[in-house]
Structure 1
Amino acid sequence: MSAPDVDRAAVAPHAVPAHARGADTADQVPADLPGLLGRLARRDPDRIAALDKGRDGTTIPVSRGELWQRTLSLAEELRTGGIGAGDCVAVWLPNWSDALAWQFAVAARGAHVIGINTRYNVDEVTHVLDRARPRLVALAHDFHDLDLLGGLREAVARSTNPPPAVAVVAGPGAPAVADPSASDVGGGAWAPATPVSAPPGIGGSGLDDLVVAFTTSGSTGMPKLAAHRAHGVLTHAVADATTIGIDEADLVLCALPLSGVFGYNTGMAALAAGATCVLQPVFDADTVLDDMAHHGVTHVVGGDDLVLRLAEAWKARPRDLSAWRWLGVADFQGRSRELAEWARDAFGTATAGVYGSSEVFALTAFWPHDEPAPGRWTGGGRVVHDGITVRVVDPVTGEELPPGQEGELQFRGPNVVDAYLGDDSAATKAFIADGWFHSGDLGALVDEGVFAFVCRMGDALRLRGFLVDPAEIERRLAEHPDVFTARVVGIPGPDGDTRAIGFVVPEEGRAPEPASLRDWCAETLARFKVPDAVHLIDAMPTTSGTNGTKIRAATLREWARQRFEDSRST
């Protein structure tokens, strides 16, 4: 098994200034998280920090000064409400500028935010209440016909912790909720006031304070809540802004939920650069494209599932997206390469594959702008600042491996998770004795600080003694004109050897023969890589999280095992 095709000689360092490469950061990184917004407001209070979407679909500009004043007022209300150092505040809001104000205001109190996706079910919300133990929940009022309050009531009833207070947030352009008492779930309820004058000065917070936590993917059970300190958030935001090349004139699409790590890091990078966040509280591809064209969006970060929906909507009704300069894409469904080609050919957009997670931040690494395609479109890249170190180790022996050899990717640095809310034992499993973090991902070093991501270690296939990336087989299947998307999983055969099983969603109106798809693979792949069987299915089983829609490999493995057993019994 080989790493993705990357030109090692061509991998140049990101153009990162001294402050992001480990030198003195005093002039570049604020002293605390609220200071990031505060310095923007002081420098140019009238400049637009965010574009909100009103309930009627209109765009509502939010200036830096307005967002800062809202943050100051909210921080004072939190102080009055008893929120202080070490407390947790759950923010259950869509992508409104209010979600940004809550993050900065909570940090000003020395407290931390746990974001809750508006699509979470009751079990997931209960899990957050049990683990994070929030004293307060900021709850979106009457949002998108979702019964968030009903879900919270049920979650509180199931939780073993005391009920939190509720702050009812009306949303962009709406007046404060006149009677928030209806939202009381047992801990009291209030509605943030609309600032009318400059409130008192903001409280203090420190770089060592926990400020935000994200839910992990939860692929092996209920998710962990990975928390990060202000120092890591700020250092990462500044480095991301610089390495991506965002500046004050740019407009950054914020379509992924701010409650998830990809949406959060994208928004923070935009603010660190002084750019404008184009907020999308609900993802509708046509609306997003209209906004991208109207406002001249320059930067987009998302999974290939999100970008695929944009591409399909654009092909149905093209818009002028010539301002779109950069796409950072995470390959969740194996479609990144074709989408990178579409964006390049249609708009001249440069695409980079990115790497990240809730535990090491999104946009921890991506490929430099001068790395040639198609290597630039794969997962991995160069870490965004020299404070992050990465190595590859043999997952069995723990031996550190040289460039080109595949093993587990491990990380150290301020980007790495600082705590797991409600689960102290999780850190013991996540780290080894000398402080390296187990990513659980298979990859290979290309150069110092540069790596190629291959796949999750549990998804790698050992076929005939060779370690094989299933994406290699999936790409070949997807090249067939009758195939819309493909995924390959491994199951144990009767002899104990792994068997590769392909699942294919055909193009609409097509029904390729499974045997012909195996023959198609055999034309270019080594014999041992040809899947033992290929099954046609109507749709991939997926799970929707805060960072995008991912195919459920575990479900496909179960389907593969069942179909294999059925074939043996007939």
Structure 2
Amino acid sequence: MGGVSEHAAGPVTDAPRDLPDLLRRLVHRDPDRTIAVDTGPAGETIPVTRAELWTRTRRLATELETAGVGRGDCVAVWMPNWSDALAWQFAVAARGAHVIGINTRYQVDDVTHLLDRARPVLVALAHDFHGLDLFSRLRAAVDASSAPAPAVAVVPGPGRAPVDDPSGSDVGAGAWSPAADGDAPDPEPSDPSDLVAAFTTSGSTGLPKLAAHRGAGVIAHAVADAAAMGVTDDDAVLCVLPLSGVFGFNAAMAGLAGGATCVLEPVFDPDTVLDHIEGHRITHLATGDDLGLRLQQAQAARPRDLSSWRWWGLGDFQGRSRELAEWAGAAFGTSVTGIYGSSEAFALLSFWPDDEPAPRRRSAGGRVVHDGIEIRVADPVTEELLPDGTEGELQFRGPNVVDDYLGSPEVIARSFTGDGWFRSGDLGFLVEPGVFVYTCRMGDALRLRGFLVDPAEIEVRLAAHPEVHTAKVVGATDPDGATLAVAFVVAEDGTKPDPDALRDWCAEGLARFKVPHSVRVIDEMPTTSGTNGTKIRAATLREWAAEL
């Protein structure tokens, strides 16, 4: 089994000039090497060489120029994980414009918000994907939006017939379909200081913001991630999270920067994903524990040879990452690390090196991927800087940090300190310079009997009970104003855990003040499916806890 990088942070050297230059360099190294693997409409495998993707990118950049797309414009890309999405990202960047990705699950209100904020001049729309009528959603969103109607480029997708008449997708500014063949000249170098990609935030404090990043930051981060992950030309990265989200985007860009093959999953089906890990000899994967649980269950039902799987960057969305790390490490020898990131500061901003022992290696945080990323911890109230080991707000500075919020320029001022550090809104502490542990969102921390408690401590204990499948802990306020910990759990199939017994279970392993005031067994967690994975809606649970 190949080794993973020791993950020593260092300067990003010899980085490509811009995104098109990244692809151009790969072609010069080996034009016939597979850069991406698509899945066709019948489940067939469709390999794409570096030269093929570069030809498609050049041709598309020329078409975008003809369509009037230029520097500073926004192009919305509404399609699944197809190699077309990569070509659109490279070609739009070549025009000095930027992409806002739209998740194929987005509904009319979501798209209306994006149109209002990003005001794209063009929407690249997947045609007839998975039975979804994306055009009707777009039509309704355009009607509801205050933004000018965008042009529409209808994209048929891999293995599908060209669109004969795209005029039916016109929402007011014309419609066309990219050419299926032909060549075009190399695009002129773009300015790396131009915005190239934007991502929706979680929207935990209102409507989602659109965090935009410059080309120089995207390139620097991709090169650093590839080096820290140990990605090489002989590797294969499974791109299972949507490219429209920062998690999926950064994983794919790391794969490309390292010269690996990106195996693209347009939909998530655990059996198909496991078949692809085995069949394509996948070496690197980045997901949340929500998808990880489904992979574990599917592997138990039908085992595959997953011995090629070297590295797993695992996000802890549902409190199950530690047991999944133990499973993958024991079963396949996979090196599993906790990670950290956000739409504003990039995903895979940090993770732990191979030699970091458990259990800390499984926690969110780690070492920043290059020394251009600075991190400090400040008191959330006084803004006083805190020493190593003292918990406070994580603040960042560097090329990875958000450069603009599309349609919301006023947000930039309040997102940064007076001396230019990005306020993450996350609690954590420094281990040493450039190395940190993430605790939780500042709004999720509980003050129990005077002690600041990370709900994950209680959740991990509950999830270790054999009758508990998932646990989430939130705070509720009692009549005297004190905070009470309320736990919600979903039972394992075929079990009926007793709430009082679960409290006793917590008391056996936790300090008394951490034992939840009450435990409620529910059928399923309220969740939200975003571009980075499925997360439990803590706000809904807090409402339920208040009612109780």
TM-score range, shorter chain: over 0.9
Q: SS at 2:227's partner residue?
A: helix
- Matched with 1:82 is 68
Aligned pair partner of 2:425 in 440, 445, 450: 440
Give the TM-score normalised by the residue count of structure 1.
0.94
What is the rounded CA distance, in whole Å, between the counterparts of 2:147 and 2:94 in structure 1? Answer: 25
**In the aligned structure 2, how far is the partner of 1:289 from the partner of 1:518?**
37
Shift of 1:294: 0.6
Matched, 1:133 2:119: yes
Q: 2:504 aligns with which of 482, 507, 519?
A: 519
The equivalent position to 2:15 in structure 1, one of 29, 35, 44, is 29
AA aligned to 1:472 is E
The aligned counterpart of 1:7 is none
Instruction: State the partner residue of 1:42.
Output: 28
Are residues 1:213 and 2:198 paired?
yes
The answer (yes or no) to whether the contact 2:527–2:535 under 8 Å persists in 1 is: yes
Corresponding residue for residue 3 of structure 1:
none
How far apart, in 1, do the equivalents of 2:517 and 2:256 lie?
50
CA offsets 1:142-196 (integer angstroms, 9 cap, x no match): 0000010000000000001110000000000223211000110111000000123
For residues 38-70 of structure 1, the C-alpha deviation after alignment (integer angstroms, 9 at most, x for no partner) is: 110121110000001011100000000000000
Q: Separation in 2 of the partners of 1:186 and 1:535?
A: 51
**Distance in 2 between the 1:529 and 1:87 partners?**
51
| Alignment deviations for residues 492-543 of structure 1 (CA, whole Å, 9 cap, x no partner) | 1111110000111111121121111111111121111111110010011100
Q: CA deviation at 1:220?
A: 1.9
**Residue equivalent to 2:376:** 391
Equivalent pair of 1:420/1:426 in contact (CA under 8 Å): yes
CA distance in 1, matches of 2:427, 2:386: 12
Corresponding residue of 1:344: 329
Q: Distance in 2 between matches of 1:125 and 1:499?
A: 38
1:487 correspondence with 2:472? yes
Cα offsets for 1:441-462 (capped at 9, x unmatched) = 0001000000000011100000
Q: Does 1:124 align with 2:115?
A: no
Q: What is the CA-CA distance between 1:219 and the residue it aligns to?
A: 1.4
Q: Distance in 2 between matches of 1:139 and 1:155?
A: 14
Residues of 1 paired with 2:140 and 2:500: CA distance? 50
> How many matched pairs?
544
Deviation, structure 1 residue 339: 0.4
Which residue of the other structure, out of 277, 289, 300, is the alignment partner of 1:292?
Answer: 277
Distance 1:476 1:200 in 2: 59
Match of residue 355 from structure 1: 340
The aligned runs of 1:487-506 (5 Å cut-off) are 487-506=472-491
1:168 is paired with a residue whose SS is strand
Residue among 143, 162, 173 paired with 1:187: 173
Deviations 1:241-295 (A, max 9, x none): 0001010000000000000001000000000011000000011111111111111
CA distance in 2, matches of 1:396, 1:349: 41
Aligned to 1:260: 245
Q: Judge conservation of contact 2:6–2:355 (CA < 8 Å) in 1.
A: no
TM-score by length of 2: 0.98
1:99-143 residue CA offsets vs partner (Å, 9 max, x unmatched): 000000000000000000000011000000000000000000000
Measured in 2, the distance between the counterparts of 1:75 and 1:134 equals: 16
- What secondary structure sits across from 1:127 in the alignment? helix
- Aligned equivalent of 1:422: 407
State how 1:269-284 maps to structure 2 within 5 Å: 269-284=254-269
- Residue 145 of structure 1: aligned partner: 131
Q: What is the distance in 1 between the residues matched to 2:142 and 2:60?
A: 24
Whether 1:370 and 2:355 are equivalent positions in the alignment is yes
- The code of the aligned residue for 1:260 comes to G
Q: Is the 8 A contact 2:338 2:351 kept in 1?
A: yes
Gaps of 5+ in 1: 1-11, 564-570
One-letter amino acid of the counterpart of residue 269, structure 2: D
Residue of structure 1 aligned with 2:92, choices 81, 98, 106:
106
Contact 1:75 1:203 in 2 (8 A): no
For 2:24, give the aligned amino acid. G
Q: Aligned with 1:423: secondary structure?
A: coil
- Partner amino acid, structure 1, of 2:16: P
Indicate the SS of the match to 1:410.
strand
Aligned-pair distance for 1:361?
A: 0.1
Residue identity in the other structure for 2:506: C
Q: Aligned match of 2:158 in 167, 172, 179?
A: 172
Quote the residue 1:551 is aligned against.
Answer: 536
Q: Hey, what does 2:79 align to over in structure 1?
A: 93
Following TM superposition, by how much is the alpha carbon of 1:13 offset from its aligned partner in structure 2, in angstroms?
7.0
2:367/2:435 contact within 8 Å kept: yes
Equivalent residue of 1:523, what SS? helix
Q: Which residue of 2 aligns with 1:14?
A: 7
2:525 partner SS: coil
Structure 1 contact 110–204 (Cα < 8 Å) conserved: no
CA contact (8 A) 2:11 2:372 kept: no
- 1:184-218 per-residue CA deviation (whole Å, 9 max, x = no partner) reads 0111000000123x312313311101000000011
- SS of residue matched to 2:386: coil
Task: Compute the displacement of 1:15 (Å).
Answer: 3.3
Partner-residue secondary structure (3-state), 1:459: coil
Name the counterpart of 1:9: none
Instruction: Give the whole-Å Cα distance in 2 for the aligned partners of 1:60 and 1:378.
Output: 37
2:524 partner letter: A
Query: Which secondary structure does the structure 1 equivalent of 2:51 belong to?
Result: helix
Contact 1:395–1:407 (Cα < 8 Å) also in 2: yes
Q: Does 1:325 align with 2:310?
A: yes
Q: Which residue of 2 aligns with 1:72?
A: 58
Letter in structure 2 aligned against 1:155: A
Residues of 2 paired with 1:31 and 1:479: CA distance? Answer: 48
Structure 1 residue 409 corresponds to structure 2 residue 394: yes
Deviation per residue, 1:4-45 (Å, 9 max, x gap): xxxxxxxx97235x542xxxx3xx211111100011012111
Distance in 1 (CA, whole Å) between partners of 2:273 and 2:519 is 36
Does the aligned pair in 2 maintain the 1:486–1:505 contact within 8 Å? Answer: yes
**Which residue number corresponds to residue 566 of structure 1?**
none
Conservation of the 8 A alpha-carbon contact between 2:6 and 2:354: no
Match of 2:209 among 199, 224, 229: 224
Partners of 2:349 and 2:247 in 1: how far apart? 10
The AA in structure 2 aligned to 1:34 is P
State the AA in 2 paired with 1:500: A
Give unpaired runs (5+ residues) of structure 2: none
Distance, in Å, in 2 between the alignment partners of 1:431 and 1:307 is: 34
Q: Which moved more, 1:477-486 or 1:409-418?
A: 477-486
* Structure-2 separation of matches of 1:91 and 1:202: 20
Are 2:144 and 1:158 aligned? Answer: yes
Distance 1:165 1:502 in 2: 49
Identity of aligned residues (%): 68
Letter of the 1:420 partner, please give it: Y
Tell me, what secondary structure is at the counterpart of 1:167? strand
Instruction: State the alpha-carbon separation in 2 of the partners of residues 298 and 191 from structure 1.
Output: 35
Counterpart residue identity of residue 130, structure 1 = D
